[in-house]
Amino acid sequence: MARVVVVGGGLGGLAAAARLAKLGHDVSLYESSPHLGGAVRDVTQDGFRWDAGPAAMTLPATVRDLFRKSGRPLERVLDLTPVTSPRRHVFADGTVLDLPVASRAGQRQALEEHLGPAAAASWEATVDGLTQTWELLRTQALEVPFGGARDLGIGGLRALGLPRSLRSFGRARLSDPRAVQILEYAALPEGSDPARAPAFTAVAAYVERTFGLWSCPGGFAGLARALGTRLAERGVAVRLGAEVVEVTTEVDRVTGVRLANGEEVAADVVVTDVDLRALTDTLLPRPPGPLRKQTRRIRLAPAAFPVLLGLRDSGGDPMPAETVLHGSPGSGDPALVVRAPEDPSAAPAGHRAVTVSVRGDLGGRDPVEVLAGRGLDLRSRITVRVEGPATSYGPRWRGAWRGLGVPTNRTAVRGLFVVGATAHPGPGVPYVFLGAAAVAEQVGKA
């Protein structure tokens, strides 16, 4: 039995703690804030509830696997619900396209009707062609502990399209620039530049089409609460408001952590769920050179400041779960994203809880006013408006050739592992869960 300390109570830290406790280790988790979940939290006001973190996720099997391998199965704790409404794309030329998420035939039909047969055929061929990319990533980088680009070899790196960028990949394969915009939206989190992201991120379009999008009734903060309950069931000691200021080491291995109050906690294994720049700049006194070099390259995507709205129902065309209003292709105009989760518990009867976010810089303009200028005027329906908390969606790609440059889950310090948005395999609920699974596999049973 190893003494395990988990630093940070985001979803990655919670998942790692749950898995390691089930494997028989003595696990403690320290979170500096008063709540678990990290960026996944609720904002509530006047009967409305908004998710400050993600509104939907793909790869639901990652959540089911986590719960099954840490105790009772997911279905006995909470339900994941498939997002059934299509994603609405509104383009600068006035085209409105409702694109089904989890239907190959549905996508082809919608694209044929609104963008034409050539655009539909090239989209289908492109997404079909990403099957091999997904299988390569899944079998060699996601479902097994990943040691870095060397694990893939030259052939694997070529198969992933490196060093080609996502934008050049899309423009080379898709006949309609609006389809390129759809691909870039599906593949990238807020703040990333498709001209600097690696081509293999296009696989997100295949993943969405194959596995769908899923929401969590009550919001993803409910998932964090369910994991908190799972930790209690597994005997994990959780300390909130406990700030770790140092990961202690001796020679080349971890020895524990030191808290802000001076308390020292001995550990055989430390798992950090923090921004890895903070790990090497602050928490780790003598970080190994390769890890420091990797973390110095990390640049977080610019923080988004969503606008949270409580709206009266219009009584007309129901609002989709997600609407993307694209700028003109190649203009640099930011896309605006309007999310209205299909969760009746999120708002009073006859109302919707809506989140408006911006992918880019509006130059100080009010997003709601910009929406109105683009044809989606919500102003007369607003009953509540809240300026949402700043959120970041993980590292920003800094060049397509660095497509696999995020730090791996095992560090060069023996006994020190990392999870979360800035570690492999990157941001997003399913991916931080995959990172936690890789850590548990490498630590092994007690």
Section 154-181 average pLDDT:
92
C-alpha to C-alpha distance for 285 and 295, rounded to whole angstroms: 14
Spell out the SS3 assignment of 369-392: HHHHHCCCCCHHHEEEEEECCCEC
C-alpha 25/C-alpha 424 separation (Å) is 23
Q: Which of 29-38, 213-222, 245-254 has the lowest mean pLDDT?
A: 213-222
For 94-140, the pLDDT digits (tens) are: 999 999 999 999 999 999 999 999 999 999 999 999 999 999 999 99
Kindly report the average pLDDT of the chain as a whole number: 91
Output Rg (C-alpha) for the chain, integer angstroms.
22
The pTM for the full model equals 0.93
Question: What number of other Cβ atoms are within 10 A of residue 99's Cβ?
Answer: 22
Asked whether the beta carbons of 356 and 337 are under 8 A apart, the reply is yes
Handedness of CA 238, 243, 249, 252 (dihedral sign): positive
**Which of 54-68, 244-258, 286-300, 358-372 has the lowest average pLDDT?**
286-300
pLDDT classification of 157: cutoffs 50, 70, 90: confident
What gap in Å lies between CA 382 and CA 48, rounded to an integer?
Answer: 12
Find the Cα–Cα–Cα–Cα dihedral 130, 203, 164, 136, rounded to 10°.
-70
Report the DSSP beta bridge partners of residue 265.
Answer: 257
**Which class does domain 3-40+221-299+396-443 fall in?**
alpha beta
- HSE toward the beta carbon, residue 428, CA cutoff 13 A: 20
Q: Alpha carbon of 406 to those of 188, 410, 411: distances in Å?
A: 16, 12, 12
What is the reported pLDDT for 64? 97
Residues 168/199, Cβ–Cβ less than 8 Å: yes
pLDDT (tens digit per residue) in 372-405: 999 999 999 999 999 877 666 566 665 554 456 6
Q: Which residue did the predictor score with more confidence, 392 or 16?
A: 16
Report how far apart, in Å, the C-alpha atoms of 89 and of each of 114, 115, 192 are: 11, 12, 19
Domain ranges of the chain: 3-40+221-299+396-443, 84-212, 307-387
According to the model, what pLDDT value does residue 192 have? Answer: 74
**What confidence category does residue 285 fall into, taking pLDDT thresholds of 50, 70 and 90?**
confident
